[in-house]
Every structure is written in structure tokens, then in C-alpha cells.
Amino acid sequence: MKLTLGFSPCPNDTFIFDALIHHKIDTEGLDFEVCFDDVETLNQKALKGELDITKLSFHAFAYVANQYALLDAGSALGFGVGPLLISKNHFDGENDSRLLTPSSKLRVGIPGKYTTANFLLGIAYPQLQNKQEMVFSDIESALLEDRIDLGLIIHENRFTYQDKGLTKIVDLGNYWEKLTGCAIPLGGIVINKNLDRDIQLKVNRLVRQSVEFAFAHPKSGLAFIRQHAQAMDEAVMYKHIELYVNKYSINLGEEGRKAVDTLFTLAQERNIIPAIQEQLYI
């Protein structure tokens, strides 16, 4: 049986899925047709129900919980891994009136409407509404060219922005951790609820085995990871992986589910997402 599978070309995702799609583990009769896209494109495909299994932002998951269930395996949660709000200019993240005024006209580059990064920005700075959606890798150059005033960065840009003379305003991951005490839920792996329950459980089991294989053989997928990592330095690739692939990627567990539930509860209370009635988890 062949299933469509979407994930990003970022090192954390290619690290997780290498063993699965290259049959380094027993896939129990399943094959996967892989679609590589940036996270916001994957979010949009999930909103249209295009893929059987896909990585997506937890923000987007709030809008497709009627159609997709969250796997216990494959998620990106953690401490110290949140998106950063950066600028070419200095801002006081806690007290700067330019950030805090309800009528702020600051132009903010975001990596997509349905990204968890934008989700957190809405919780921390609801007054920043002048947003421009762009591919995450273009945000730094947009700041340097003064096309935007603020940039919301994710992924490997966490490691490169300072080299370009850009300045951190606030770490939204730290903001979240202080607010809730929970790990920050960034992205998860979901599966279409129309698939047979046995298939859903099998996919969950296989993704977990793929993550476990990657941890046991961290260099096994190096060529595959490098192929999709946009000429990223190997040390940066593995820093990226260490940040986003951890115990929650093997199994959400009680702590991981609490973090996801807290995120959705806060967002619903602040009218950032609609009320969710559906069962979230596989």
C-alpha cells in the first residue's frame, strides 16, 4: 500500500524520515510517495486534505483536527527552540511603545499565516497586525533591505541572523515557557482519519521506529539530510537536529500532550483559533 507523505527538507524532518522512506526499517508492506515542501505549503495542503500523512504546524492543526489525527511520534516540541522576533534596529521587547501600541504600523515578515511562529506572535504581540507572509528563508534579506521592520524567524535562521548584523528582540519560545512552563509545540505529524485505524496505528509505529533508528545511527542519513539542507554546514545541520528532535519526537507522552492542549486552550481563549471539538490524538 502506498501513502502520500509530506515533510519539509529541513534537517530535523529528513533525519526523522530517512529510515522510513529508505526502508532501513521494516515498513510492514507500506510505501511512501514523498512530497518535500516548506512548512507553510504543507499547512496549506493539509487544509485542502491533499496528503495521507503530513508534517504541519500546530497552528494549522487547529483548523484540520476534523480530518487529521496527531501521531504520538514525529513531533517537534522542546525548550529553547522557539521562533525569534528579530530586527535590523534595536527594540526593547518588553517596553518599546513601537511594539506595544494597538495601532502599530510596524511591518512584520512572518513565515506563514498558519505557522506556530505566527501563532505565538499573536499570543505575545496581538497588536502587531501589519504582517507580510514570505518564505522563511527570505526574511533575513527582507530585513536587511528594509522591506520589513521586524522578522519572525524559524529553523536554521536561528543560527545565522547574528552573522548578518541582525538583532534579537524577543525569543518567543522563552516567552511561552515562562507563561506556561511547558515545552513549546512547533510541529507535528498527522494522518488522515479516513484511513483504516490499523493503518493509522501502523504508521505511528513506523514513524517511531524511524526516529529511534535515526538516534541509534545518527550519521546513517547524512547524505540524504545534506542533499536537502541548502548547502548548510554539517555542524549547523546537527545543531538543528539536536534542537528539534528529542524525546517528544519518539513519543509525545503526557508532557507533550499537555503542551499541545495548553497551546490550543490559550489560543481559543484569545480567539486566535476556533473552538476545537474533535479528538486530537491518534
Residues annotated catalytic, as ranges: 155
DSSP for 64-107 reads HTTTEEE-SSS-EEESS---EEEESS---TTT-HHHH-TT----
CB 122 within 8 A of CB 100: no
85 is in an annotated binding site: no
116 is in an annotated binding site: yes
> Sign of the C-alpha dihedral, residues 158, 208, 115, 62?
negative
Distance CA 61, CA 27 (A): 26
With vertex at residue 43, the alpha carbon angle to CA 272 and CA 255, rounded to the nearest 5 degrees, is: 65
117 is in an annotated binding site: yes
56 is in an annotated binding site: yes
Helix axes 11-21, 234-244, angle to 10 degrees: 80
263 is in an annotated binding site: no
Block residue for cell numbers 526502508: 23
Where is the binding site, in residues?
55-57, 116-117
Where is the binding site for substrate, in residues?
55-57, 116-117
